[in-house]
Amino acid sequence: MSVRYQLVIDCADPNRQAHFWAAALGYEPAPPPAGFTTWDDYYRDLGLPEEALTGAADRISDPQGHGPAIWFQLVQDPKSVKNRLHIDIHASGPRTDPIETRKTRVNTEANRLVDLGATITNVLHQDGIDHYAVAMQDPEGNEFDIN
């Protein structure tokens, strides 16, 4: 039997990360649980101290309900090592499309995300291999790929 889960991303600025990833993935801010006006109201009800509250968006969800919910958890420790888990954003389209068409789609998406605060770190392509991707980092340095 499968289980429900959410992806949790530690970060210094949950609001910025939530807005970046909502735009990157086509997600939207997650509504607070029933009976609560805001997520902070919910967190207070759980007993979290005020200093743990962000006062801003820190959760996003897939409006179509297909992808996992994502929570951007406020942490004080800065990112210090490479991610052991990363997100791949599929933008290239079907493999039956010509590689040049897929490259254009990937580069267009990578450039859109750069405009939102991401950084391109590498282009992943070798002649003779029918694959093209762009390695990137989000505004806080978390690695992800566009392919």
CA angle 66, 71, 74 (to 5 degrees): 170
Within a domain: 64 = yes
The tally of domains found in the chain comes to 2
44: pLDDT strictly greater than 90: yes
Predicted confidence (pLDDT) at residue 97 exceeds the cutoff of 90: yes
Do 11 and 70 fall within a single domain?
yes
Contact 105, 91 (CB under 8 A): yes
pLDDT given for residue 84 in this prediction = 85
Residue found by looking up tokens 């805001």 in the block: 38
Rounded CA separation 64/69 (Å):
11
Tens-digit pLDDT profile for residues 102-130? 999 999 999 999 999 999 999 998 888 89
Residue 1, domain member (yes or no) = no
Asked which of 34, 52, 74 is the last residue of a domain, the reply is: 74
Phi, psi (degrees; rounded to nearest 5) at 127: -55, 140
In terms of domains, do 141 and 115 share one? yes
DSSP tag of 50? G
Q: What whole-number distance in Å separates Cα of residue 17 and Cα of residue 71?
A: 10
Which one has a higher pLDDT value, 81 or 28?
A: 28
Question: Taking 90 as the threshold, does the pLDDT of residue 145 lie above it?
Answer: yes
Query: What whole-number percentage of the chain has pLDDT above 70?
Result: 100
